[in-house]
Amino acid sequence: MEINPAFSIRPQAALSLAADSARNVARAIDAAPAGKTASEIGRKRVGELVGSIFYGQLLRQMNQSSLRSDLFHGGRGEEAFQGQLVQHLAERIGRSKNEPVSNAIHRSMQRRLGNATDGAAS
């Protein structure tokens, strides 16, 4: 399957996006509400990032594949709201507790920051 060039990200842009996202995670941890730990906030932000970048791209490519069937096509309504559905599904997948990509990135960030106290629990 060939990746659509419209959805590809240049390496330099990906590094810039990752750096911006890491700063946003750090800001969110600093501004954590009273009942939430920094790990919970960081895990949520990493999940949103992975969902929007990784799973969003994956779902968009799946929707554009040649394996689509007219049997399950929703017509103009599906075409109009497909982007919102993909965004919503990507965010939900990224935020799920048992999502391996977000969990691995979050554990790696905790180790790098030196506060991997609850790495196994997250």
Q: Is residue 46 a contact partner of residue 109, using CB atoms and an 8 Å limit?
A: yes
pLDDT tens digits for range 26-56: 666 666 566 666 677 777 777 777 887 888 8
Taking all residues of the chain, what is their mean pLDDT, rounded to a whole number? Answer: 72
Q: What is the pLDDT of residue 120?
A: 46
Q: Is residue 61 a contact partner of residue 4, using CB atoms and an 8 Å limit?
A: yes
Alpha-carbon distance of 98 to 80, in angstroms, equals: 31
Structure tokens at 81: 């709201």
Distances (CA, A) of 50 to 18, 28, 35, 61, 76: 10, 16, 24, 16, 29
